[in-house]
Amino acid sequence: MSELFEPLLRSYDERRRSELVAAYMAVEHAAEPVPEARLAALREPASRRTIEAMLNLSGRTLIRAGRTEWTSGYQDEVAEELARDPACAVLAGDRAVLTLVLIHSVAIPRSTGRLPDDTWLSPFPTPLEELRRRSQLAIGELESALRRLRLAGLVSQVRADGRSDNGDAGGFVPGPQFHRLTPAARRRLQEELILAAGPDSPLAATIRARRRSRERVQQEARAHVAREAAVQGENS
């Protein structure tokens, strides 16, 4: 059954092996990042390398969340491939709703200093009414989108009770999947959010310029490789 993992686990004794399996299952299936104090295999760099190799078999990677907590997510190059696959892409309506939640729950509080820079989790819910008004989706479509996003862990619902400032507060915040972003994915999302929330801002202009120059470098690199290949072809 576990032929896939056997080459990586074979050399460990039974105890170490079960610690590795437990840590692998925990980072893959826990709702939140798991503290390394709870799972022996997460405490040592050598066994973390084995867990990383186990995750890599399915295009996943170990992600540090906080100083001593761990979770897993897709490797950047795998995420890029999957995003190109229409069957794997999130529906446009669902993406729109998620973007609104990120703008209201993260971008706006962050711009006013109420939320630290590198977090995608937020205590500030986006009210359902705001989503209804801004998403331009019919209420039935909006509800289906929210059902799918919640099921995928991309948004969480916050109940109205316990808030003092506004009786009918409550709504939606980014879900636990946002723990699972790699540093590069977090950076990319941050840039996308700036482009979405303030397309005319100086920061957005900087991001566009940086992307253009990066593309130019990549194109030049590709052209260089093509030239080299052509030269080699002529020479052989």
Of the pair 134, 177, the CB lying nearest other proteins is at 177
Of the pair 150, 188, the CB lying nearest other proteins is at 150
Of the pair 93, 153, the CB lying nearest other proteins is at 153
Q: Nearest approach, Cβ of 165 to other proteins (angstroms)?
A: 26
Q: Are 21 and 50 in contact (CB under 8 A)?
A: no
Of the pair 82, 217, the CB lying nearest other proteins is at 82
Distance, in Å, from the CA atom of 209 to the CA atom of 228, rounded to the nearest integer, reads: 28
Q: Nearest approach, Cβ of 119 to other proteins (angstroms)?
A: 20
User: Pick from 136, 157, 160: which is nearest to 146 by CA?
Assistant: 157
Q: Nearest approach, Cβ of 107 to other proteins (angstroms)?
A: 25
Q: Nearest approach, Cβ of 142 to other proteins (angstroms)?
A: 16
DSSP 89-158: SPPHHHHHHHHHHHIIIIIHHHHTTSS-TT----S-PBPHHHHHHHH---HHHHHHHHHHHHHTTSEEEE
Q: Which residues bind other proteins (CB under 8 A)?
A: 1-5, 9, 17-18, 20-22, 24-26, 29-32, 34, 38-39, 54, 56-60, 74, 77-78, 81-82, 85, 87-88, 147-148, 150-151, 153, 157, 176
Of the pair 128, 196, the CB lying nearest other proteins is at 128
Q: Nearest approach, Cβ of 33 to other proteins (angstroms)?
A: 10
Phi, psi of 113, deg, nearest 5: 75, 10
Exposed, middle or buried by CB within 10 Å (0-12, 13-18, 19+), for 231? exposed
Q: Nearest approach, Cβ of 83 to other proteins (angstroms)?
A: 10
Exposed, middle or buried by CB within 10 Å (0-12, 13-18, 19+), for 66? exposed
Of the pair 58, 201, the CB lying nearest other proteins is at 58
CA dihedral 175, 176, 182, 187 (to 10 degrees): 30
Distance, in Å, from the CA atom of 38 to the CA atom of 126, rounded to the nearest integer, reads: 34
